[in-house]
Structure 1
Amino acid sequence: MLIFKNAILKPVMEELQEKGGNLLFVKDSGIYLMAEKGAYLDGHRLHIAYADDFDPRLPENEDWYENAGLEVGYDDFGESLGQDFWGTFITQVIHQGCDVFIEVSENQIQAGYIKP
């Protein structure tokens, strides 16, 4: 199970609420969520929400790649998740401080929120 902490996910969800579009679930250099229509600063996304333990920029996550392979497979991907997916937990993230979890299986992606 992947956990996305509220402190880093909330800015992404606020971008979704403001600009619309899809939530992108990505595995390449780390595992993260970002708004399809998110803002850029100096050519880089301003808001990216890495899953706990899967941010390759942090030294404590040095084995993120092996763990990511076990969690979601070794191939890089980008899944576009529409409002029918992220709309089920946006209010809880923005207004209630909830974290989000995502579970990936061979056939589906499921998500929910965790109350603080």
Structure 2
Amino acid sequence: MILFPASELRPVLVEARTLACRVILVKDHGVYMMSEKSSPSRVTSRNGESRLIAYAVGCNPETVPFDEWWSLACTEFGGDDFAEYIDHDAAIFDRVIDDGWNLEIRADEHHLYLDVVLRDA
């Protein structure tokens, strides 16, 4: 199971809804979610990228050693990199945005399962 805290994910979801674009779940250098488009007002980084990113707990390569985040990502999603596009209006995102619930993602070889879980007290 991969967990996205609402506090991290909410800005990404709000951006995707504001820009009317999909949300992308990505597994490559970490596991993260981002909006398909980015706000034109966002400051651009040195490499030309301008993305608001929410990393899954334990899957941020900037804060977690490679072997740890890679193992967690591969355990849940396998070894291949991927990008999965999700509609920004998915009802499950309402619970994250409006109620502050965390998003949990599980996978098997055919499907992704998204669920919300009560936020930490």
The bucket for the TM-score relative to the shorter chain is: 0.7 to 0.9
Structure 1 residues not aligned, in runs of 5+:
none
Moved over 4 A (4+): none
Once residues 24 and 85 of structure 2 are traced to their aligned partners in structure 1, the CA distance between those partners, rounded to angstroms, is 5
Question: 1:96 aligned to 2:99?
Answer: yes
- The correspondence for 2:58, drawn from 25, 31, 53, is 53
Higher helix share: 1
1:72 maps to 77
Counterpart Cα distance in 1 of 2:64 and 2:79: 20
Aligned residues: 114
Summarize the alignment of residues 3-82 of structure 1 with structure 2, pairs less than 5 Å apart.
3-39=3-39, 41-42=44-45, 43-59=48-64, 62-82=67-87
Distance 1:35 1:71 in 2: 22
Report sequence identity in percent. Answer: 29
Contact 1:12 1:38 in 2 (8 A): no
Q: Is the 8 A contact 2:58 2:64 kept in 1?
A: no
- How far did residue 60 of structure 1 move? 5.6
Distance (Å, rounded) in 2 between the aligned partners of 1:70 and 1:55: 15
Structure 2: gaps spanning 5 or more residues? none
Answer whether contact 2:76 2:107 (CA < 8 A) is retained: yes
TM-score when scaled to structure 1?
0.87
Deviation at 1:90, TM superposition (A): 2.0
Tell me, in whole angstroms, the C-alpha distance in 1 between the residues paired with 2:62 and 2:2.
17
